[in-house]
Amino acid sequence: MRRRAWGSTVAGVLILGVLLFPVYWMVNVSLQPGGSAVDVPWLPLDVSFDGYATALDQQGRNLVTSLIVSLGSVVFSLLVAAPAAYALAHFRIRGANWVLFGILISQMVPGIVVANALYSAYNDLGLLNSIPGLILADSTAGIPFAILIVRAFMGGIPMSVVEAARTDGAGPIRAFVSIVLPMSRNALITAGLFTFLFTWGDFLFALTLTTTEEVRPVTLGLYQYIGTYVNDWSAVMATAVLASIPAVILLLVAQRYVAAGTTGGAVK
Amino acid sequence: MAEQVLLRERPAGVQEKPVPARSRERLLQVLFLVPAVLYLLLFFGYPVAKNVLMSFQSYTTATFYTGEAPWVGLDNYTRALGSAVFDKALVNTVLFTVGSIAGQFVIGLALAVFFHRRFPLGGVLRSLLLLPWLIPLIVSGAVWRWILDQDNGALNRFLGATGVADRPGWLTSTSLALIAVIIVNIWIGIPFNTTILYGGLQDIPDELYEAAAVDGATGRRAFRYITWPLLRPVVGVVLVLGVVYTVKVLDIILGLTNGGPANATQTLATQSYHLSFQEFDFGQGAAVGNVLILISLAFAVLYLRATRRAVDE
């Protein structure tokens, strides 16, 4: 029995090795000197950080843009989603089911359709090539997701806790801010982390709603790298590694929130 | 998520307040919901409505200068849907979706069953598996583009070294490009399928397997008579969600092939993008986008039915 268990571990490591080869290859190429495309060694024996120097030099600004837009989207999404999630979980409001139905249907709307309409609206409003414009558009992924996740969690908070605060004289807003929000901390963190990842990884809105260098997320920077003739793959892969850092941090630091979000967002 | 969304009962014991305080209370309660409703209307409702309108208008670059978008009836539809590219894109969308889902699901299910056995480091390995799903899609596109490169890509070097094949042009040959794009999309979808199906497996009580083992049903028979029937509701959700997400995939295809070579990997989503943002014919782009909405909507109905059934069972 024990031997079989370790046999599974070996099989698991092999499976993971095959599945994660592209991730390994990205790191390997990013550490190769020169960046020539011909015959990259299978192991980064001669480690060089030139690729990273080039990447930071050319894409550093885009990374900062991505960071600002992603953080902005987290704040905005939670500000909009948390009260809505509370209302949907605990208040009896006419039409609440229609709001939920709308959230579900919104997941079926292709991003390109949203971008198509936003482009002309943004053009009229002067929101093209702007950080607020990107934050608003990128929140299309985070807000519905955050409402669903946080609502499912808030549904589990006993109403009696809120009622107790209310009898002590707290208004609905104070009860929400000082009782419900702190109790929902884990759900809010999960929603926030995923909103960050969604926005950080956004490519479609970056591609369609920005045209200038001033406001350019790193996903678009990477796309433009590979769109032109590539002569320095180590810089491209270094950018790819840098753009993957949030995902890796999330996996290492916030493991249990990720698990909650994956299952929570899909079927639970 | 849908089952809770649509079918959750009200928490018991919510007391109604006396009348005077009630209307003010009601107003406050509604205010909690207002920002989200406004946002949904502006960023989902408006774009869908606007796309329907745009699809009947000649909406081009000129519109941005003159502000005029003349009505053209069904002209955009006859032009966009009548083109040879559309037929190709429609077929590709079906092939891409069916191929991706089939691959993701079968491998995802196999891995879920594999990780369902308890073994040392199983949890760690399972969470590492999530990585392809968490990194930005365009990053995956860039990495795979380099791996699949005809002359210097890792795959062809491997195939060359083992003598299996002679440097196929994965992304440059019209016969291989769609297959290559599907393989990459399968790779991206595996973690999601594994995670959800693994969650479904966890919910099947162990006693059922123990009872079945007493009756002599183990291994494949246990899978057929216990695992599969009990997993079916989750399977329904995974498949329909998979379709809804795969139909609109854009990042991967643009990053790998940009729809080429010779439209070999053009799908409805990429065609809509090309029409709107490269040919600046937003009317035609909207027409193709609306076809995409209709397809998604058809599956949305399926999705709602599947999740409803998942709760009933």
Inter-chain contact B114–A101, Cβ cutoff 8 Å? no
* Residue scoring higher pLDDT (A131 or B66): A131
Inter-chain contact B1–A152, Cβ cutoff 8 Å? yes
Rounded CA separation A207/A191 (Å): 25
Paired tokens of A1:
């029995």
Q: Which residue in B47, B120, B145 is closest to A226 by CB distance?
A: B145
Q: Which domain holds residue A102?
A: 51-258
Per-residue pLDDT at B219:
82
* Residue of B33, B63, B190 to mutate, testing the A interface (most A Cβ within 10 Å of its Cβ): B33
Residue A40 C-alpha, separation from nearest chain B C-alpha, in angstroms? 8
Per-residue pLDDT at A243:
96
Inter-chain contact B6–A101, Cβ cutoff 8 Å? yes
DSSP string, B108-159: HHHHHHHHHS--TTHHHHHHHTTHHHHS-HHHHHHHHHHHT-TTT-HHHHHH
Q: What percent of chain A has pLDDT over 70?
A: 92
Ranges of residues in chain B with a pLDDT under 50 are 1-14, 16-17, 313
pLDDT in tens, A104-123: 888 889 999 999 999 999 99
Q: Which residues from B are below 8 Å from A170, CB to CB? A: none
pLDDT in tens, A77-90: 999 999 999 999 98
Look at residue A58 and tell me if it is in a domain.
Answer: yes
Per-residue pLDDT at A254:
76
Inter-chain contact B307–A109, Cβ cutoff 8 Å? no
Q: Could you tell me how many CB contacts below 8 A there are between chain A and chain B?
A: 330
Q: What percent of chain B has pLDDT over 70?
A: 90
Per-residue pLDDT at B76:
94
Q: Which residues from A are below 8 Å from B238, CB to CB? A: 266-267
Number of domains in chain A: 1
Per-residue pLDDT at A259:
66
Q: Which residue in B46, B117, B248 is closest to A117 by CB distance?
A: B46
Look at residue A13 and tell me if it is in a domain.
Answer: no
Residue B167's SS3 state is coil
Let me know if A130 is exposed, middle or buried by CB neighbors in 10 A (0-12, 13-18, 19+): middle
CATH of the domain at A124: 1.10.3720.10
Q: Which residues from B are below 8 Å from A7, CB to CB? A: 119
Rounded CA separation B127/B121 (Å): 10
Q: Which residue in A38, A113, A267 is closest to B237 by CB distance?
A: A267
Q: Do B238 and B193 meet the contact criterion of CB atoms below 8 Å apart?
A: yes
Q: Which residue in B5, B15, B35 is closest to A84 by CB distance?
A: B35
Look at residue A101 and tell me if it is in a domain.
Answer: yes
Q: What percent of chain A has pLDDT over 90?
A: 56
Inter-chain contact A39–B152, Cβ cutoff 8 Å? yes
Per-residue pLDDT at A268:
36
Per-residue pLDDT at B9:
42
Instruction: Name the closest residue on chain B to residue A239, using Cα atoms.
Output: B139
Paired tokens of B13:
């014991």
pLDDT in tens, A178-231: 889 999 998 999 899 999 999 999 999 999 999 888 899 999 999 998 877 667
Rounded CA separation B204/A36 (Å): 52
Q: Do B45 and B268 meet the contact criterion of CB atoms below 8 Å apart?
A: no
How many CB atoms neighbour CB B140 within 10 A?
26
Q: B120-139 burial, b for 16+ CB within 10 Å, e for fewer?
A: ebbeebbbbbbbbbbbbbbb
Phi, psi of A247 (to 5 degrees): -60, -45
User: How far from B19 is each of A42, A254, B22, B277, CA to CA, in Å?
Assistant: 75, 46, 5, 55
Rounded CA separation A226/A240 (Å): 11
Structure confidence at residue A95 as a pLDDT band (50, 70, 90): confident
pLDDT in tens, A47-75: 889 889 999 999 999 999 999 999 999 99
DSSP string, B23-57: HHHHHHHHHHHHHHHHHHIIIIIHHHHHHHHHTTB
DSSP A230: P
Q: What residues pair up with B71 in beta bridges, in sequence order?
A: B57
Mean pLDDT of the residues in chain A: 88
Rounded CA separation A175/A164 (Å): 9
Look at residue A11 and tell me if it is in a domain.
Answer: no
Number of domains in chain B: 1
Rounded CA separation A193/B193 (Å): 20
Count of residues making up chain B: 313
Inter-chain contact A26–B143, Cβ cutoff 8 Å? yes
Let me know if A30 is exposed, middle or buried by CB neighbors in 10 A (0-12, 13-18, 19+): buried
Q: What is the mean pLDDT of residues A250-267?
A: 67
Q: Do B239 and B124 meet the contact criterion of CB atoms below 8 Å apart?
A: no
pLDDT in tens, A33-44: 865 666 778 888
Q: Which residues from B are below 8 Å from A106, CB to CB? A: 40, 44
Q: Which residues from A are below 8 Å from B15, CB to CB? A: 163
Look at residue B65 and tell me if it is in a domain.
Answer: no
Paired tokens of B43:
């960023």
Per-residue pLDDT at B13:
47
Q: Which domain holds residue B118?
A: 90-312
Q: Do A244 and A26 meet the contact criterion of CB atoms below 8 Å apart?
A: yes
Q: Do B165 and B105 meet the contact criterion of CB atoms below 8 Å apart?
A: no
